[in-house]
Structure 1
Amino acid sequence: MIKGEALRARVAAMPGVRRLRRPVGDGRDFDLHYVRAGPPGDCPLLVLPGGPGLASVLPYHRLRRDAAARGLDVVMVEHRGVGLSRTDDNGDDLPFSALTVEQVIDDLAAVLDDCGVRRAVVYGSSYGTYLAQGLGVRHPARVQSMVLDSPMLSAHDDHAQRAALRELYLNSSLTDLVDAGIVAAEETGQVLQVVHEFGGRPQVERLLRLLADGRGQGVWRWLSGLGELETTKVNRFVMEFDLVGAIAFGELGFAPEPDGRPLDVNLYFGALAAKYPPFRGEPFDLTTALRRFHWPVSVLSGDNDIRTPRSIAARVASLAPDGVLVPLADTGHSALDTHRLAALTAARIVAGGGHRRLPELAPRLAALPRRGPARLLGNLLTARLALGRLISV
C-alpha cells in the first residue's frame, strides 16, 4: 500500500467516521464521509469549518475530543472534493461540476438524515458561515439555532476588508517602504492582515519599524508565503484547495479586481483564477435571506479579524431578527481555529438556549485559555520579529 492510500485508510478508520452515498451530479454516486463524536442527542452541533478546502475529520479531532468532554454531540462533514470525500468510485477526483455551494449544502441535510436527527445547532466558521446561512436558505427546518464565527456575507466582502486594513495602516510608514522598493505593494495586504490577526497593531508597527531600519526582510518573505501555501499546496486530509477552488472563484468571487494601491487583500488569488471557472454569481442573496431567519443567530467577531472585519459581523447580527454580536478581544479570524475554548463554550451556551447572554459573557469567553496551532503561529511570529531585530538582510 502506497503512502497516500495508507494515510487515507488511517483517517477513514478514525473513531466516529461514517460514509453515505451522494450524487456526483452526472448520474454517478460517490462516498461522502462525515464524523460524529460525543454523546448522541436529538439536536447535535453541526460544525462547518472554513476554506473552502479545510478537511473536517483529521484537523479537528482534538476539537471533537474537547467538545465531547463538554457533553456536545458534534457532527462534521468532510466537504465534497476534500479529503475522504475527494474522489469517485474509481479513485478519480470529483469534477468541477460536482462542486457547488448548493450541492455541499444538500450534503449537510443528507448527513442529518443519516444521523436520524431533524435539527441541529449549526456552527459555521468563515467560509463555513456561508454554508451555514445557505443551509438556512435551502433547508430552514433543519436549523435549531446558529453560530456564525467570522461571518461571510457576500462576494463583495473584499471591499470591507480593504477599508478596514487601510483605515489602520495606509499611512506614511507603509507608503515610504513601498516607494523605496523595500516591500512590494501587492504583498502588503496579505502580510499585514496576518500580522494584525495574530499580533494586533503593536506587532504590525514593530514589523514596519524593523523594515524601515533595514531589517525584517526574512520575516516579510515568510509572511508573504503563508497565504499562498493554503491555496497552492495540497496538504492531504488537512487543506485541499485545488478542487474546491471552483467554488471559491466561480461562486464566491475570490479574485477581486485590484485597485493598484497598497493593502489590497486577496491579490494572491488572482494568479490562480485562470485555472478555475469564472465568477458566475453567488447562489444566494444572504442580505435578504438573513431577515427571514427565525432562529437565534450568534455572531462571533474577533477584534483583530481583518478577513471578515467587524463591519460585516455587525451587519450580519443586525439583519437577523434574533441576532446578537459577540466581540472577542485579542482574537483574530475564526475562533474555531484560534480560540477553541471560546468557540466551544459559545456553542454550548447557544445549544442551551442562552444566546442572548453571550454579549455580556464575551470578555470571559475571550479570557479563556487559548489552545491549538494558531497560538503557536502567534508565538512563532513574536519570535521571528525578535530575531529580525538582530539580523540585517
Structure 2
Amino acid sequence: MNSYGAMKIRSDRRHGVGRVPRGNLDLAYVRAGRRGATPLLVVPGGPGMGSILPYRRLRRMAADRGFDVIMVEHRGVGFSRRDRAGVDLRSEDLTVTAAVEDLVAVLDVCAVDRAVVYGTSYGGYLAQVLGATHPQRVAAMVLDSTYASVDDFDLCRAYLRRLLWDGDDPASRGVAAALRALVEAGKVTDEETAVVVPLVYELGGVPLLSKLLMAVGKGRRRLWNRLAALVTGELTRVRPYVMEFDLAGVINFRECYAQKPDGRPLDPALPYASIADRFPSFTGEPIDAPAALRSFTWPVAVVSGARDLRSIPAVAQRIRDMTPHGVLVPFDGLAHSILDNHPAAALTIARQVTEEDLHRLPARTAHLAALRGRGRAALGATLLNLALTGSA
C-alpha cells in the first residue's frame, strides 16, 4: 500500500468516511443520524466545495432533528480528489453526469430508495439533474439559491448592476453613486469592485456596503484589500478538504458557466475570466433543466435570500414557476445559500417539504429566520461590522 493509501485509511477512520467504488475512484461519503428516519441527501455548492469537513455541525444538527443524513464528497474535492493510485482525477473524470451518478451510487450502498434531496447553489443544479435522470430516487426536493440555466447568470449580472451601479432602487441609490464616484476617481478598480461589492452587500446589505465605501473614500483600504484577496483566493488558492476549485473548476467552466466579461462595470465574470485559460472552454449544459423541472412530480421548495446576488430572487421565482408542485420560500435579510447562512431554517424546510403543509412555508419565513442556529455568514457580517467600526 502506498503512503497515500495508508493516509486515506487513517483519515477515513478519523472522520467516519465511507467509500464506494466508482471506476478508478473510491468515492467518499458520510452518513449520520438514526437509520430509518427521514433520509436526507444534502448536496453542497461548488464546484470545489467540500462536503465532509465543512458540514460536520450541519450533520449533527440534522441528526438531532431526526434525519438520516447523507453527504457525498464531490468528485475532485477533498476525500474524493484522488484515484486509487493517489493521483488527482483527470479532467475527463470530472463531469456533472458523473457527479450525479455518484449521488445515486451512495444512495444504493446506503440502501435508500428515495430521499429528500436538499441542493444549494451548484448542488441545487446537481439535484435538478438527479431529478431529471433518476426521478424514482426523489421523495421531495429543496432547491436553495440555485439556477436552471446558464442564461440565469446574465439575469443576475443585469440585476446586480441595476441595484448597485445604476441605483434604480431608491434604497441603493446613494451607495451606487458612492461606488461610481470611487471608480471614476480611480480609488478602486473594476476587478476589485466585481468581487468585493457583491460579497459585502450579501453580508450586510446597503448599510454595510455604505460603511465600507465611506472608509475607502477616506483612504482606509486595508479591509477592502483583504476582502478582494479573500474572494479571489477562493478561485486560486487550494484549501484542502474545504475549497478545491483548482481541480473541480473543470466542471464549472465546461458545463455550468458560460458568462464572459462584457466590458461594463461591476462584472462578476471578471474573476473567472482571469483564470479561464487554466480550464477547458464551455461545451454545453448536460440537460435541459427548465424542461426537466416541468416534469417533477414531487414537492419542491425553492428557497431564496433577498440579498442573494448570485442567484437572484427573480431566478428563484422562475424556477418555482416551472415546477408543478413547488412553492417559493423567500427570506428577507439573507443572502446566497440558506443552508450555509441559516442551517436551522434549512433543516426545518427539509422536514416540512415532505408534509402536507408545504404550501404554508412561504408564510412562515419570518418564523424560520428567527430560529436559533444562524450560519457562518452571520458571523462574517458581525466581524466585518466590527472591523469597519474600528477603522471609521
Give the TM-score normalised by structure 1: 0.92
Identity %: 49
1:44 counterpart SS class: strand
State whether structure 2 residue 208 is matched by structure 1 residue 203. yes
- How far, CA to CA, are the matches of 1:161 and 1:8 in structure 2? 40
Q: What one-letter code is carried by the residue in structure 1 that aligns with 2:188?
A: V
Shift of 1:353: 4.5
Shift of 1:52: 0.7
Structure 2 residue aligned with 1:251, among 249, 255, 260?
255
- How far, CA to CA, are the matches of 1:8 and 1:105 in structure 2? 23
Residue 112 of structure 1 corresponds to: 107
- How far, CA to CA, are the matches of 1:294 and 1:155 in structure 2? 24
Shift of 1:369: 2.4
For residues 242-291 of structure 1, give each alpha carbon's deviation from its aligned partner in whole angstroms, at most 9, with x where no partner exists: 1111100001126x221222211131111111111110011111111111
Spell out the pairing of 1:237-316 with structure 2 (5 A cutoff). Answer: 237-253=241-257, 256-316=259-319
1:160 counterpart SS class: helix
- How far, CA to CA, are the matches of 1:353 and 1:97 in structure 2? 43
Structure 1 residue aligned with 2:152, among 152, 157, 169?
157
- How far, CA to CA, are the matches of 1:160 and 1:189 in structure 2? 16
CA contact (8 A) 2:38 2:67 kept: no
State whether structure 2 residue 378 is matched by structure 1 residue 383. no
For residues 49-93 of structure 1, give each alpha carbon's deviation from its aligned partner in whole angstroms, at most 9, with x where no partner exists: 001111111111110001100001100001111111111111000
2:256 counterpart SS class: coil
CA contact (8 A) 1:16 1:37 kept: no
Structure 1 residue aligned with 2:226, among 222, 225, 235?
222
- How far, CA to CA, are the matches of 1:99 and 1:293 in structure 2? 26
Residue 122 of structure 2 corresponds to: 127
- How far, CA to CA, are the matches of 2:232 and 2:12 in structure 1? 28
- How far, CA to CA, are the matches of 1:376 and 1:3 in structure 2? 38
Alignment CA distance shift 1:166-1:7 (3 Å):
farther
Residue 235 of structure 1 corresponds to: 239
Structure 2 unmatched ranges of 5 or more = 166-175
- How far, CA to CA, are the matches of 1:386 and 1:10 in structure 2? 45
CA contact (8 A) 1:297 1:323 kept: yes
Structure 2 residue aligned with 1:342, among 345, 359, 367?
345
Q: What one-letter code is carried by the residue in structure 1 that aligns with 2:376?
A: P
- How far, CA to CA, are the matches of 1:191 and 1:155 in structure 2? 23
State whether structure 2 residue 139 is matched by structure 1 residue 144. yes
Worse-superposed segment, 68-77 or 2-11: 2-11
Residue 188 of structure 2 corresponds to: 183
State whether structure 2 residue 18 is matched by structure 1 residue 18. yes
Spell out the pairing of 1:66-77 with structure 2 (5 A cutoff). Answer: 66-77=61-72
CA contact (8 A) 1:210 1:388 kept: yes
Aligned length: 382
CA contact (8 A) 1:342 1:365 kept: yes
For residues 157-205 of structure 1, give each alpha carbon's deviation from its aligned partner in whole angstroms, at most 9, with x where no partner exists: 3212222221221143222111110010222122111011110111112
Q: What one-letter code is carried by the residue in structure 1 that aligns with 2:210?
A: E
Q: What one-letter code is carried by the residue in structure 1 that aligns with 2:144?
A: D
2:67 counterpart SS class: coil
For residues 192-230 of structure 1, give each alpha carbon's deviation from its aligned partner in whole angstroms, at most 9, with x where no partner exists: 110111101111122222223x23311211121222121
Residue 331 of structure 1 corresponds to: 334
Shift of 1:5: 8.2
2:181 counterpart SS class: helix
Give the TM-score normalised by structure 2: 0.93
- How far, CA to CA, are the matches of 1:293 and 1:284 in structure 2? 14
Residue 103 of structure 1 corresponds to: 98
Q: What one-letter code is carried by the residue in structure 1 that aligns with 2:329?
A: V
- How far, CA to CA, are the matches of 2:127 and 2:7 in structure 1? 29
- How far, CA to CA, are the matches of 1:185 and 1:146 in structure 2? 38
- How far, CA to CA, are the matches of 1:53 and 1:370 in structure 2? 25
- How far, CA to CA, are the matches of 1:10 and 1:57 in structure 2? 15
Residue 26 of structure 1 corresponds to: none
- How far, CA to CA, are the matches of 2:83 and 2:177 in structure 1? 53
